């Protein structure tokens, strides 16, 4: 069954700690995206990647890092430089060229 898998569903971060959120897709999509969702603010783009070994900053990239070593995988690291990391993080993917994005079920990150 094709889809986007995000793990873990819940994650807790201690002060000064980096944490990595996993996103895997088996849809053979070229492009992958990371969004942050906060109450009342909609989804905001953190990073996106249209091809392996290449990625671009979105609107709120500060304090985050990504890698795209495989087509299927686009992990997001929330670094200690991100001072307000508590949010719902969503990963999406799509074929390039005007196709709509499809989303995983998210990871909720909280501060300990």
Chain residues binding other proteins by CB under 8 A are 4, 6, 31, 33, 40-45, 48, 50, 56, 58, 90, 94, 96-106, 108
If the CB atoms of residues 17 and 96 are measured against other proteins, the closer one turns out to be 96
Nearer to other proteins, 7 or 18 (CB): 7
Residue 103 C-beta: closest distance to other proteins, Å: 4
CB of 40 to other proteins, least distance (A): 6
Residue closer to other proteins, measured from CB, 61 or 79: 61
Select from 17, 25, 31 the least CA-distant residue to 1.
25
- When the beta carbons of 13 and 48 are compared against other proteins, the nearer one is 48
Tokens 């849809």 belong to 27
């Amino acid at each position: 069954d094709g889809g986007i898998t995000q793990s873990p569903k819940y994650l807790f971060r201690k002060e000064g700690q980096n944490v990595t959120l996993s996103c895997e897709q088996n849809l053979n999509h070229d492009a992958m995206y990371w969004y942050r969702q906060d109450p009342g603010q909609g989804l905001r783009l953190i990073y996106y990647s249209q091809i392996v070994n290449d990625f671009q900053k979105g609107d709120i990239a500060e304090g985050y890092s990504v890698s795209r070593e495989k087509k299927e995988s686009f992990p997001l690291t929330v670094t200690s430089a991100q001072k307000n990391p508590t949010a719902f993080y969503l990963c999406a993917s799509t074929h390039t060229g005007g196709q709509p994005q499809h989303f995983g079920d998210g990871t909720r990150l909280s501060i300990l």
